[in-house]
Amino acid sequence: MAYIRYITKSNNREYASLASSARDGKQVGQQYLGNLGLVVDKENGIFKSRELGLFRYTLESGFSDLPEGYVREPRGDEKESLILDFGDSYFLWEYMKAQTFMPALRAVLPDQSDTLFTLLFFRILTDKKACCHAETWYQGNYVSLLFPRAKIRSQRISEFMAAVGAEDVQRSFFREYLGCLYEEGGATGILIDSSGLPNDSKLSVTQISNHNGNISLEARLIYVLDRKTGMPIYFRYCPGNVVDVSTLCTTLAELKQYKVDIDYAILDAGYFSEDNVRELFRNRVKFVTRLAPNRKLFKDVARANLPGLMDSENAVRYGNRLLYIREEVVDIYGNMGFAYVGIDMDSRNQQLKRAAFSALDDRLSPKDMDEKMARLGLFVLVSSECIPIDEILPLYYTRQQIEQVFDVGKNGADLLPIRIQTEETFRGHLMLTFLATVVLQKLQRDIIKKSKKKDKINPEGATMVLRNQKCKVFDEAIVPQEAVKKVNDVYRLFGIHCPALIAKCS
């Protein structure tokens, strides 16, 4: 028979735990079942623990949320939250309200918008932490006043993740989001790449992956970026054992369902295949991609162009790098294309000594050694259209933007590590991460665009500086405290005014 056991500790606070008792003849045995935590309201069965926050438990109904409209009188030994972290959440909310994609964020589960925005702010404004810490942060931040109806106890967060990960919710969001970014049918240039998400949980999407020689148990996340703005526009995922080359046609087909007509794609070598190339030509999507060295086209182009490639007439400057590049018209699976074969001298010089020692150790003949050394720093890009040689590298290297976005997701939006046990919550985790990455990417690009060297403002430090501005909470109003120069610099950079008084929402 289960019962609640109460005990008063030396701090005069009462705590409770679950126990059960059973009679075995004349002996009565007792068994500990779990901890309920601090007794907040004994009559109504209200408890508080570090893991669950404030919750209700009764022997008849088990665990549940607080009763609707429940209000309790604070005990004399409790401290009210009269001073909160303010500047970071105030700035972020004012910034987000001005963005063109804000209607799409508001449309995601509108009846749970307080929970959505609270978890977004938690991911953007704090160091990577498990969601079980969200309630502690929430109670000490202005976010609790911005979004007072947020449900962020651990069990409620799991339910929310499953809801926001639902297919119909994500489809509705992308229709709204892409409509905010583009007019219907508007064409765009895109960048596509994938990243592994290591995960030890037994999900159907968690499979053994061999990606570029790295073997791991993972799912693969695919992001699509707008080439001009650098903004993430779409994501999807697939099992870890699905290779990149198999995902391109599906990704383009899904984008087409949202009426996004792609006119240009920049791809990594893993996406080059006969099926993908034919699909791109069939849909009149221009493209640039790198060739892997094991491709027949790579070997044919290299063999034909290596002699005389490092002649001065082929020299190209790209920033502080010296390259030699030559263009050749080629056949790409029955379609006319253009190959750009080049040697990167920085890469070549870095490899030269190591390759020479390796060749000598392997006792290669002078001919084989010369052939091996000639290929150091060699690369081949192919394009569906003719591009001036001095423009091909700047165009292809816009791909770096997508690598930066994955970095933003992993280091700023809590993409990793994955603490997920079901595919439903896994989908929600990816969705929430995508939304946080959209906000962070736009914020970082705006800070870089607006900042000057003398401002000494960087994306990583801005929110940390802002967090130092506090606010005092009164019955009917919130009074932000005076902002120091660094805080004012961030506000001024974005034209945001911090008022002396904010009316408290009822």
Confidence of residue 442 (pLDDT cuts 50, 70, 90): very high
User: What's the pLDDT at 469?
Assistant: 95
69 alpha-carbon distance from chain centroid: 36
Q: Which two tokens mark 58? A: 């009764």
Please compute the mean of the pLDDT values over residues 330-347 and round it to a whole number: 95
Task: Supply the pLDDT for residue 207.
Answer: 87
Top pLDDT among 131 and 238 is at 238
pLDDT at 454: 52
- In angstroms, rounded to a whole number, what is the distance separating the alpha carbons of residues 6 and 16? 4
**What pLDDT, on the 0 to 100 scale, is given for residue 414?**
81
Q: How far, in Å, CA of 191 to CA of 228, rounded?
A: 10
Share of the chain above pLDDT 70, in %: 91
pLDDT in tens, 290-315: 999 999 999 999 999 999 999 999 99
For residue 71, what pLDDT is reported? 58
Q: Say what the pLDDT of residue 76 is.
A: 45
Q: What is the mean pLDDT of the chain?
A: 87
Q: For the chain, what are the domain ranges?
A: 2-64, 289-383
Give the pLDDT score at 506.
Answer: 47
Cβ proximity of 114 and 150 under 8 Å: yes
pLDDT at residue 472, rounded to an integer: 94
Query: How would you classify residue 99: left for phi > 0, otherwise alpha for psi between -120 and 50, otherwise beta?
Result: beta
- How far apart are alpha carbons 41 and 54 in whole angstroms? 10
What's the pLDDT score for residue 37? 86
The mean pLDDT value for 427-455 works out to 87
Q: Which residue has the tokens 């609640």?
A: 4
pTM of the model as a whole: 0.80
- Looking at residue 323, its pLDDT comes to 95
Which alpha helices (DSSP H) does 29-166 contain, by range? 87-97, 102-106, 113-125, 134-139, 143-146, 154-164
Residue 186 reports pLDDT greater than 90: no
Convert 380-422 into a string of H (helix), E (strand) and C (coil): EEEECCCCCHHHHHHHHHHHHHHHHHHHHHHHHCCCCCCCCCC
Q: What is the pLDDT of residue 315?
A: 95
Q: What local confidence, expressed as pLDDT, does residue 136 receive? A: 85
pLDDT digits (tens, 9 = 90+) for 49-87: 866 777 888 888 888 877 766 655 545 444 446 899 999
Most confident range, picked from 128-132, 260-264, 377-381: 377-381
Rounded Cα–Cα distance for residues 442 and 99 (Å): 9
